Amino acid sequence: MKKTYFSFKKLLLLGFGFFGISLVWPLYNSYVPIFLKDFELSSTLIGFVMTIDNIFAIVMLPLIGVLSDQTRTKLGRRMPYILLGAPLAAITFSLIPITRAWHLLWLMMLNIIFMNFFMALFRSPVIALMPDITPSEYRSQANGVINFMGGVGALLAFFAGKPLYDKNPGLPFYVGAIIMLVAQLLVVLFIREDEKYRVKTGEKVKFENVYKKTIDELKENLKDVFTSREKSLLMMLLSILLWFIGYNALETFFTSYAKFQMGIKESTGALVLGFFSLTFMLFAIPAGFIGSKIGRKKTMTIGLSIVIAILIGTILSTRIITDIGLLTKVFFALFAIGGFGWAMVNVNSLPTIVDMTVEEKVGGYTGLYYFFSMAANIIAPPLAGFFIDKIGYNTLIILTLLFFVLAVLTLQFVKRGDVKVH
pLDDT one-digit tens code per residue, 234-287: 899 999 999 999 998 998 888 888 888 777 777 778 888 888 888 988 898 899
Task: Give residue 2's pLDDT.
Answer: 45
* Backbone dihedral angles phi then psi of residue 198, each to the nearest 5 degrees: -110, 145
Rounded to 10 degrees, what is the CA torsion of 33, 347, 67, 196? Answer: 150
> pLDDT band at residue 204, thresholds of 50, 70 and 90?
low
Most confident of 178-187, 210-219, 269-278, 281-290: 178-187
Roughly what angle, to the nearest 10 degrees, separates helices 207-226 and 362-390? Answer: 60
Q: Would you call 260 exposed, middle or buried from its count of C-beta atoms within 10 A (0-12, 13-18, 19+)? A: middle
| Residues in the chain, overall count | 422
How does 265-299 read in b/e, with b if 16+ C-beta sit within 10 Å?
ebbbbbbbbbbbbbbbbbbbbbbbebbbeebbbbb
Report the number of secondary-structure helices (H) and strands (E) in the chain: 14, 0
> pLDDT band at residue 104, thresholds of 50, 70 and 90?
confident
Region 140-165: what's the mean pLDDT? 84
Chain mean pLDDT for the chain:
84
Please check the confidence at residue 412 and state whether its pLDDT lies above 60.
yes
Share of the chain above pLDDT 90, in %: 29
Region 304-308: what's the mean pLDDT? 97
The rounded distance, in Å, linking the Cα atoms of 244 and 376 is 6
- Whether the Cβ atoms of residue 137 and residue 3 lie closer than 8 Å to each other: no
Q: What does 60-109 look like in DSSP terms, one character per residue?
A: HHHHHHHHHHH--BTT-SSHHHHHHHHHHHHHHHHTHHHHHHTT-HHHHH
198 three-state secondary structure = strand
Residue 351 half-sphere exposure toward CB, CA atoms < 13 A: 34
Please check the confidence at residue 335 and state whether its pLDDT lies above 70.
yes
Task: Give residue 4's pLDDT.
Answer: 45
The rounded distance, in Å, linking the Cα atoms of 126 and 121 is 10
| Greater model confidence, 364 or 117 | 117
The rounded distance, in Å, linking the Cα atoms of 292 and 10 is 20
The number of beta carbons lying within 10 Å of the beta carbon of residue 237 is 24
Region 349-372: what's the mean pLDDT? 77
| Greater model confidence, 279 or 141 | 279
The amino acid present at 271, given as its one-letter code, is L
* Backbone dihedral angles phi then psi of residue 73, each to the nearest 5 degrees: -140, 175
For residue 287, the surrounding DSSP H or E stretch is: helix 266-294
Residues with Cβ within 8 Å of residue 245, at least 6 apart in sequence: 376, 379, 380, 383, 403
How does 138-170 read in b/e, with b if 16+ C-beta sit within 10 Å?
bbbbbbbbbbbbbbbbbbbbbbbbbebbeeebb
Task: Give residue 16's pLDDT.
Answer: 92
> pLDDT band at residue 340, thresholds of 50, 70 and 90?
very high
> pLDDT band at residue 170, thresholds of 50, 70 and 90?
very high
How does 53-88 read in b/e, with b if 16+ C-beta sit within 10 Å?
bbebbbebbbbbbbbbbbbbeebbbbbbbbbebbbb
